Amino acid sequence: MYLNVTTKGRYALRVMLDLARHREEGVVPLKSVAERQGISLKYLEAIVASLRRAGLVESARGKEGGYQLSREPGACTAGEILRCTEESLAPVACIRGDSEGCERAASCPTLPMWKELDALTESYLDSVTLFDLLTGERWNKT
């Protein structure tokens, strides 16, 4: 069993990290992000639209248009980013919010375990910030 993060979710993290790395430049053209990340511009447009609707990025139109983070990298979490693009981060279908549930839920002895795993996963992803991902310091403590 594993958390199945889609390509869209992984790319959303890459876009946000790219914008964070280049935030001193201000508004960054999406075409530049697409070239640096090796991702189709059309696919990135759909991903960035989700990020914009969630308030994680801001856009500027026109010749000098593009995108930038709406807040500092330390104030944006991997959990927020993934929830913009993923249907669910739940480890099993029976606890997904959009699922019709399971007819055995009332008597299922494993349901509390799955719910706890889901809560741990959400908590962990909400504790990892773009700053953590940019610097790697969180994992490089020796």
pLDDT in tens, the chain (142 residues): 556 899 999 999 999 999 999 999 999 999 999 999 999 999 999 999 999 999 999 999 888 789 999 999 999 999 999 999 998 888 888 887 654 567 777 788 998 999 999 999 999 999 999 999 999 988 987 6
**Run of H or E residues at 82:** helix 78-85
CA distance 39 to 14: 10
Tokens of 142: 């020796």
Per-residue pLDDT, 2: 55
Residue 57 identity (one-letter amino acid): V
Per-residue pLDDT, 16: 98
The answer as to CATH 1.10.10.10 being correct for domain 7-135 is yes
Domain residue limits, the chain: 7-135
CA distance 27 to 69: 9
CA distance 77 to 125: 7
Q: How far is CA 115 from CA 73, 74, 97, in A?
A: 29, 28, 12
In sign, the C-alpha dihedral spanning 28, 77, 39, 90 is negative
The conformation of residue 77, written as its DSSP 8-state character, comes to B
